[in-house]
Amino acid sequence: MNNYLITIIGPTAIGKTALSIQLAQHFNCDIISCDSRQFFKEMTIGTAVPNQEELAAAKHHFIQNKSIFENYSVGDFETEALSKLNELFQQHNVQIMVGGSGLYVDAVLKGFDEFPDIDPSIRETINTEYNQKGINFLQEQLELLDNEYYQKLETENPQTLVNPQRMKRFVEVCLGTGKPYSSFLGKRQNKRNFIPIVIGLEADREIMYDRINQRVDIMMDQGLLNEAEKLYPHKNLNALQTVGYRELFDYFDNKITLDFAIEEIKKNTRRFAKRQLTWFKRNDNAHWFDYKTNIKTIIDSLESQIQR
């Protein structure tokens, strides 16, 4: 019997959670959450974690299962998610995955390439340089050592260019091998024991931005300010370098007013949504639906692709 992984993609605040629950109920299966911000149990409001009613409506995995104090990589998630799917497919040949983290979606659907081991001394040197010169050093190095990949990130996923952990990795591979990081991509064929069916939710930009603005207002009403204040002592942790928290940390640092911080959250979330769409639209196999599409239409489309 064939296994099928229905994957729901799309920008933040578009309605992926609600759709995933409806589909999980129809197919009588579980949901794999693929939102890298929702892994952490200390972050609830600012990451739009499904509420108790939603969690009770369908079995979810990888929701608030880690701590911000743990090191958790996309590679760790790939391993754990595939293991969980193997377990779930023994119960039912259709499962659901949902999330807005494109890199994590790709990890499960396609996997990662293999890279050679790097001399630890190179990593130490890069860390020292980063501590002295900051993220600009890493950006300049990658632009010099792998200009093609740097340009691709700048266009498709600029948030990566300010992620120290990933930038360090790119640079250490370049320096450690003497080859561009991008030269190692696409070399490995990762086998999967499921057939992926990818569907996306989208809306006109004006509608999408309005939904984002409304969501931020709701988050503030729900207590995002208080949640961020509790996390403020740990503001330098990698897990907290994300929209919705960084802006409020600046407010606590007396750099900006609260009203300005809220507007910055809205603006940066809109930018994030735009980048999500750019990333997901690269997937030529995805079938896109308007966010208001009748659930029966989506189910009929999925059922036509699934052999029971």
Q: Which residues define the annotated binding site for substrate?
A: 12-17
Contact 185, 177 (CB under 8 A): no
Q: How many angstroms separate the CA atoms of 263 and 142, rounded? A: 32
| Range list of H helices, 134-287 | 135-145, 147-156, 164-177, 205-222, 224-231, 246-252, 258-280
- Feature table: binding site for ATP: 10-17
List alpha helices for 178-245, DSSP H. Answer: 205-222, 224-231
Phi, psi of 34 (to 5 degrees): -125, 45
Place of tokens 């498709």: 156
Instruction: Answer whether 194's CB lies under 8 Å from 90's CB.
Output: no
CA distances from 302 to 29, 287, 305 (A): 14, 10, 5
Give the C-alpha separation, 224 to 244, whole Å.
Answer: 8
- DSSP helix, strand, coil percent of the chain (3-state; round to 5): 55, 10, 35
- Lookup result for tokens 């409001």: 45
- The sheet with strand 94-98 has its strands ordered as 60-61, 31-33, 94-98, 4-9, 195-202, 287-290
Determine contact, residues 291/201, Cβ cutoff 8 Å.
yes
Binding residues: 10-17
